């Protein structure tokens, strides 16, 4: 079998495997995915006689971590044709892809697992401090009633202004999140439309934009990503919307790719200092003894020669410990 990256004009060849392995996604959503997300992603595949047997899609995102920006990839559409499973295809794909991302200086990788047990051997661990925001039942019904009485409720949203407001809210409350921009919301609107939904703006009593929420009607009514300030209200309503309730819900799994680059992103109010003998079977470039120091000004992971007294630690465990110190809001679907 041959391992390679698909050229841009070839990406559509992977759709058959996508539809075989993810039958729950509607044709409308898959159309959106291949028209929008495949414009700038990478697709690495294993082929046999020009047939795609296994694949991973690496979708690019910029994250904000403790006030620092970094480019990373979100792995999705991780799939192998049933005829080619348990032949080591995914190990080869992941090792090649993660090696490449590490060489590019990417600090970590993340994914949303269908089966978390599958990714443990590859060094991924759940983000135990990941948050979601939800609306209470009564408020969900109020939002649903408003939407049912509106037409084209997201037509006049200023995507740039909406991104600025969302980033203010996220930056105040979270250590790790994906910053928004106008392009993010333009694509978000298309994603919601592919699931019979929309991005809906909410304003304050003076009519000024102060947040938004998304909804989907594909499998019944579902509110997604309610992001608004305390004084938000719906048009025609006198009462302010209650702030969304926050819940700890591990959804994503993360994995350190480049240890020094990852530690450099971190900022901790209480200083962390440790000398560790790091082990990484998948990415041996991370192996070695590191003196790690992190405080409120930044972090360093310096390789050292002498480490007789250092504790040995798998990179997956170290990553889990570090991610669990961060308050995370990363809930992207694709």
For residue 316, the number of C-alpha atoms closer than 13 Å in the C-beta half-sphere is 12
| pLDDT for residue 264 | 98
Nearest-angstrom CA–CA distance, 180 and 167: 6
For 64, phi and psi rounded to 5 degrees? -110, 120
Position 152 confidence tier, pLDDT thresholds 50, 70, 90: very low
| Domain 2-126 classification at class level | alpha beta
- Contact criterion met (CB below 8 Å) for 229 and 211: yes
Q: Which residues pair with 319 in a beta bridge?
A: none
- Each as own residue / partner, the long-range contacts of residues 187-196 (CB below 8 Å, 24 or more positions apart, any chain) are 187/36, 188/214, 189/154, 189/157, 190/32, 190/36, 191/32, 191/36, 191/333, 191/334, 192/216, 192/224, 193/32, 194/26, 194/28, 194/29, 194/31, 194/32, 194/33, 195/26, 195/28, 195/29
CATH of domain 258-327: 3.30.1050.10
Nearest-angstrom CA–CA distance, 250 and 286: 26
| pLDDT for residue 206 | 86
Q: Which two tokens stand for residue 117?
A: 């047990």
Nearest-angstrom CA–CA distance, 178 and 330: 6
Nearest-angstrom CA–CA distance, 44 and 70: 22
* H or E stretch at 94: helix 89-103
Please compute the mean of the pLDDT values over residues 204-213 and round it to a whole number: 90
pLDDT at residue 236 greater than cutoff 80: no
pLDDT at residue 69 greater than cutoff 60: yes
Q: How far is CA 238 from CA 49, 204, 211, in A?
A: 65, 10, 17
Nearest-angstrom CA–CA distance, 193 and 169: 24
DSSP 130: B
Q: Which two tokens stand for residue 120?
A: 């443990």
For the chain, what are the domain ranges? 2-126, 131-248, 258-327
Burial 69-96 (b: 16+ CB within 10 A, else e): ebebbbbbbbbbbeebeeeebbeebbeb
Over residues 253-282, the pLDDT tens digits come to 999 999 999 999 999 999 999 999 999 999
Nearest-angstrom CA–CA distance, 71 and 62: 4
Over residues 77-130, the pLDDT tens digits come to 999 999 999 999 999 999 999 999 999 999 999 999 989 999 999 999 999 999
């Amino acid at each position: 079998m041959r391992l390679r990256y698909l050229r841009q004009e070839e990406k559509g060849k992977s759709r058959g495997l996508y539809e075989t392995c993810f039958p729950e996604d509607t044709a409308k959503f898959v159309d959106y995915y291949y028209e929008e997300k495949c414009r700038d992603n990478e697709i690495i595949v294993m082929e046999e006689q020009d047939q795609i047997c296994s694949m991973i899609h690496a979708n690019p995102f910029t994250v904000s971590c403790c006030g620092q920006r970094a480019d990373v990839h979100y792995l999705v559409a991780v799939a192998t044709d049933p005829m080619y499973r348990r032949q080591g295809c995914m190990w080869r794909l992941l090792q090649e892809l993660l090696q490449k991302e590490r060489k590019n200086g990417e600090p970590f990788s993340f994914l949303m697992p269908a089966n978390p047990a599958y990714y443990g051997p590859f060094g991924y661990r759940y983000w135990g401090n990941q948050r979601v925001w939800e609306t209470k039942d009564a408020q969900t019904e109020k939002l649903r009633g408003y939407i049912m009485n509106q037409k084209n409720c997201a037509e006049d949203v200023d995507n740039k202004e909406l991104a600025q407001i969302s980033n203010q809210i996220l930056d105040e409350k979270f250590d790790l999140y994906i910053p928004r921009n106008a392009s993010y919301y333009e694509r978000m609107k298309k994603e919601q439309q592919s699931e019979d939904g929309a991005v809906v703006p909410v304003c304050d009593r003076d009519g000024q934009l102060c947040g938004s929420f998304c909804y989907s009607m594909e499998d019944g009514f579902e509110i997604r990503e309610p992001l608004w300030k305390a004084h938000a209200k719906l048009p025609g309503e006198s009462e302010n919307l209650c702030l969304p309730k926050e819940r700890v819900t591990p959804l994503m799994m993360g994995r350190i790719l480049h240890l020094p680059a990852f530690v450099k992103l971190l900022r901790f109010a209480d200083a962390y200092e440790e000398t560790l003998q790091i082990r990484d079977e998948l990415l041996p470039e991370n192996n070695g003894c590191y003196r790690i120091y992190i405080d409120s000004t930044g972090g360093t992971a310096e390789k050292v020669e002498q480490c007789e007294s250092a504790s040995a630690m798998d990179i997956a465990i170290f990553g889990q410990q570090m991610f669990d110190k961060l308050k995370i809001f990363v809930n992207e679907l694709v």
